Amino acid sequence: MQFLKEIHLMNSFTYTKPKSFEIEDPEERKMESFRILARRLLRPSNQDVKELSILHPGQGDALLVEEAAAYCFKAIDEGATCLNLNEVIWPDSFSTKNVVEALIKSPYCNVSKNQKTTTEVQQNILPLQLEISKSETPWLYLNKYWYAEKIIAEQIILRQTRNLTGETPSVELVSKAIQSHDLLKIGKQGCLSPMQVRALGAITQKNFIVLTGGPGTGKTTTVARMIEILRQTNPEKELDIKLAAPTGKAANRLKESIQNEAPSSENDFYSNLEAVTLHTLLGAGHGVIENFKYDAKNKLSGDVFIIDEASMVPLLMFKKFLEAIPQDAKVIVIGDPDQLASVEVGTVLADIVKGMQNQPRRDASIDLSESIKLDNTLKKLWEKTATSTDEQWPNDHSETSFIQLHNGLVALTQGHRNEGGVSTLVKLIKDQDIQKAIELLKSGEKNVTLIDSLNSGENSSYKEELIQHYKDLSQKVGELYKQEKEGQISQEELDQKYATLLDEMNNLRLLCAKKRGTKAGTNSVQEWNALISKEIEKDFGSTKSDIDAYGERIGSVLVVRKNQSTLDIKNGDTGLLVKRVPQEGEDSFKLVLPGKEKGTVRYVSRPQIEAAKLGYAITIHTSQGSEYKHALVMLTNEADSPLNLRELIYTGVSRAKQKVTVIGFEEVLEQGLTRQVERASRLDELLGQQ
C-alpha cells in the first residue's frame, strides 16, 4: 500500500534486504517486515542506521513496545487508523496488560485518556499514541493518524456548533428564494423528495452538510439546488464555489452533473464552475508526499467547498482539506458510505455518517424551534408542488432523523437512476437482505441475472454479447477513418459520430473484482482484456497500419492511468483509440475522449499520453462513480478472497442503470454479501461525544 511507501520516505533510511525476508510463509514474512519498520521507528533519531539487516530485537519492555508497534503497522497496512490491543493474538509470553504497561513507560509513546482536543497533547512529540477509551479499551496509533482523527472531529464539531458565516437567512428569505426560482420542481411535472427539500433548508442554516445516498437518489440534483438557494439568499455576494473530488474523472462528472441540473437562466454562472482533484485543490507538489501549498497556515480562499465521492477520500487527505479551508466556509460532503472505501488508510465518510447518526444535538445557538419553523414552511411549499404519488413528508420533529438533519446529516433514500429489478437488487444489498438478493438474481427477472461460473460454458451469452459489443465499436471506428480519408465526412459529422460511439461504449461494461491473473478462469481484468483483444484480432486481423506504437489496434478502449494537466487528461479518463488523417507534424493515432460540453469530443495524440491501458474490462474500483446501461459484474472465484466483500459487490451492481449480470459462484456471492470492510477507527466515537 501507499502507506508503506510513506513510512519508508518518512524515515529516510538506506534499505538492505534482511535475512528475515527469506521466510517462506508470506504472512509471517510480512509481519517480520513490520517488525523491522517498528525497530526503525523506535530508534533514537540521532542514530545513523545504514542497514536494517543489522538491527536486533529489543529486550524486556522495549521488545513489548516493538511488537505492539509492528502490529499497529500491520493494522494500518490493512486500512485501519488504529489497533485495539485487546484484539491482538500475542506471541507466547506476551499479554495485553504487559504491552500496555510497557507502552505507558516507553519514551516513544504519548498516553492519553479520552482527550477531547488536540491541544491537550502536542502533536508529533512521539511516534506512538496510546489512547485509553471510556470503556478502558487500549487503542494504539501512529501519532499522525491519531492527530488526524482528532483534527477532523474538532473541525466538524466546530462547524456544527458555531454560525461562522454571520447572520443566518430568515425563514421568510429562504421561502421567497425557493418560490421565486421554482427550486422544488424537476422537469415539467416532477418534484424534489421531502429530504431533498429539507437539504435546501439545512444548507442555509449549517456550515457542514453531509449528503449521502445510493446511486440515483438525486445527490447531484440536490447539490445544484443547494448552490442556487445559497446564491439567492446571498444576493449581494458573488459566491466563490469550489468543486473537488478524489479523482479527475469524478471531478469532471461532478461539474457536468451540476451544470446539467442548473437553472437554464443561470447557465453563465454554472458554466464557469470548475472542478479539480483534491490534490490540485490543495496545491500538491510534484512527487512529494503530502507536500501541499495550502494548509492550516496558508488557507484557501472560497465560500463553499463541495467534495464528491467522499467514500474514496483517505483520512490524511480529509484532515488536510479541513485544515486548509477558511473557518467561515460552508462544506458539502457528498457520497455513498456503502461503496468501497479509500485504497489508503481510513473509512472517513462511513465513520462521519455513523458518528453524526449518534450525535447529540449540536448547535445550541440555533433554537430547535427555528429549525421546526423552517421545516414546516418547507413542507407547505413542497405540498404545493408534490403529487399524490410522491413520498410523504415526515411530521415527527422529535425523530432521531430530524436531530441528525439539524446536525447536518442529509440521507437520501429514494432511488431514481436504477430501473426495475436493478433498483430492487441495489436496495436489498444495501439493506443486507442477502437471501432475497440471491433469490432475485436467480428468479429469471430479465434485467437481473446470476450466471454460475461453473456453468458458464452452458450460459455464455454474456461473453458473446461482450465480444460483439467491442467488435462493433472497432468496426465503426475503422469505417469512420475510411470515410475521413476519402473525404466523405465533415469534421462536425465526425465529431458527432465519435460522441455517439463514446456513449455506446458505456452501454455495456465488464467490471472485475480481480485486477491481475492471466490464466483462464481467473476472472481478472488482465485475462479478459487479453481475451477480447484476441477475439477482435481474429475478425479484423493485425494489419500494421491499424496498430499504434504501443501495440494497440484502432477501436481499442483505453483508460488513462496518469494525470497530465498540460493535456487536460486525468487518471481514469476512458476513450477510443482512433486513426485520423494526420496534419503536418501530427501522429495519426489519437485517443478520442468526451469533451467539456455534453455531446462533444476532443482528440489527444496517443504518443503524448504517458500511461494508458486497455479498458475493455476494468476493476470495480475503477468503475466507482460511473454508470453503464448494462453492467457485467465478475466476481473472484475464491469465497475467502479479501476482494470478496459486500462493498465491492454493491459498488459493481449499483453501476448498472437498466441491467446487471453477476458472474460467479453462488457460494462466493453469498459469502461476499456477508463480509464487510473492517477497519478499526475511532472517528465516529469522537464525533458522537458530548
Please report the DSSP string for 56-104 in residue order. Answer: ----THHHHHHHHHHHHHHHHHTT-S-EEGGG--PPTT--HHHHHHHHH
pLDDT, residue 146, reads: 94
More confident residue, 3 or 229: 229
Cα distance between residue 318 and residue 344, in whole Å = 12
- Among 20-24, 124-128, 213-217, the range of highest mean pLDDT: 213-217
Cα distance between residue 221 and residue 225, in whole Å = 6
Its pTM stands at 0.84
Is the predicted pLDDT of residue 133 greater than 70, yes or no?
yes
| Consecutive H or E run containing 130 | strand 128-132
Grid coordinates of 439: 433469490
Residue 616, SS3 per DSSP? coil
Contact between 100 and 115 under an 8 Å Cβ cutoff? The reply is no
Residue 617, SS3 per DSSP? strand
Cα distance between residue 498 and residue 505, in whole Å = 10
Q: What is the mean pLDDT of residues 282-308?
A: 81
pLDDT, residue 49, reads: 39
Contact between 218 and 416 under an 8 Å Cβ cutoff? The reply is yes
Could you tell me which residues come within 8 angstroms of residue 219 by beta carbon, excluding any fewer than 6 positions away? 211, 212, 213, 334, 412
pLDDT, residue 469, reads: 94
Contact between 553 and 546 under an 8 Å Cβ cutoff? The reply is yes
Grid coordinates of 326: 477558511
pLDDT in tens, 322-377: 999 998 899 999 999 988 888 888 899 999 999 888 877 666 555 667 778 888 88
pLDDT, residue 390, reads: 66
Long-range contacts of 538-541 (CB under 8 A, 24+ apart): 539/471, 540/471, 540/474, 540/475, 540/478
- Residue 570 burial (10 A CB sphere; 0-12, 13-18, 19+): buried
pLDDT in tens, 410-432: 888 776 544 568 888 988 998 88
Cα distance between residue 637 and residue 453, in whole Å = 8
Is the predicted pLDDT of residue 482 greater than 80, yes or no?
yes
pLDDT, residue 323, reads: 93
Cα distance between residue 296 and residue 187, in whole Å = 43
Could you tell me which residues come within 8 angstroms of residue 281 by beta carbon, excluding any fewer than 6 positions away? 242, 244, 294, 300, 321
pLDDT, residue 170, reads: 84
Q: What is the mean pLDDT of residues 561-579?
A: 85
Confidence of residue 274 (pLDDT cuts 50, 70, 90): confident
pLDDT in tens, 63-92: 899 999 999 999 999 889 999 999 998 888
Grid coordinates of 68: 505492539
Contact between 206 and 192 under an 8 Å Cβ cutoff? The reply is no
Could you tell me which residues come within 8 angstroms of residue 456 by beta carbon, excluding any fewer than 6 positions away? 463, 663
Is the predicted pLDDT of residue 520 greater than 80, yes or no?
no
pLDDT, residue 31, reads: 84
pLDDT, residue 13, reads: 38
Grid coordinates of 137: 479499551
Is the predicted pLDDT of residue 276 greater than 50, yes or no?
yes
pLDDT, residue 585, reads: 60
Could you tell me which residues come within 8 angstroms of residue 572 by beta carbon, excluding any fewer than 6 positions away? 247, 248, 249, 250, 559, 560, 622
Q: What is the mean pLDDT of residues 491-514?
A: 93
pLDDT, residue 121, reads: 47
CB-side exposure of 385: number of CA atoms within 13 Å?
A: 23
Residue 389: other Cβ atoms inside 10 A: 6
Confidence of residue 2 (pLDDT cuts 50, 70, 90): very low
Q: How far is CA 46 from the centre of its chain?
A: 40
Beta bridge partners of 576: 557, 592
pLDDT, residue 604, reads: 92
pLDDT in tens, 632-664: 999 988 887 888 889 999 999 999 989 999 998
pLDDT, residue 476, reads: 94
pLDDT in tens, 21-56: 566 667 788 888 888 888 888 875 444 434 433 334
Terminal Cα-to-Cα distance of the chain (whole angstroms): 35
Could you tell me which residues come within 8 angstroms of residue 330 by beta carbon, excluding any fewer than 6 positions away? 165, 203, 206, 207, 208, 209, 230, 303, 304, 305
Is the predicted pLDDT of residue 457 greater than 60, yes or no?
no
Q: What is the mean pLDDT of residues 109-132?
A: 69
Q: What are phi and psi of 604, to 5 degrees?
A: -120, 130
Grid coordinates of 450: 446470476
What's at 88, amino acid-wise?
A: V
More confident residue, 613 or 371: 613
pLDDT in tens, 159-203: 887 554 457 788 888 888 888 888 887 766 678 888 888 889 889
Residue ranges in 91-218 assigned as alpha helix (H): 96-105, 143-161, 171-180, 194-205
Residue 660 Cα distances to 109, 367, 445, 557, 663, angstroms:
51, 47, 11, 21, 10
pLDDT, residue 264, reads: 61
* Average pLDDT value for the chain: 82
- Among 5-19, 452-466, 594-608, the range of highest mean pLDDT: 594-608
pLDDT, residue 10, reads: 43
Cα distance between residue 53 and residue 452, in whole Å = 49
Grid coordinates of 492: 462536425
Task: Give percent of the chain with pLDDT exceeding 70.
Answer: 84
Residue-by-residue DSSP string for 312-347? G--HHHHHHHHHHS-TT-EEEEEE-TTS---SSS--
Torsional class of 399: left (φ above 0), alpha (ψ -120 to 50), beta (otherwise): beta
Closest C-alpha among 19, 24, 48 to residue 36:
19
Contact between 304 and 227 under an 8 Å Cβ cutoff? The reply is yes
Residue 210, SS3 per DSSP? strand
Q: What is the mean pLDDT of residues 391-398?
A: 74
Contact between 162 and 206 under an 8 Å Cβ cutoff? The reply is no
More confident residue, 11 or 497: 497
CA triplet 421, 423, 429: central angle to 5 degrees? 100
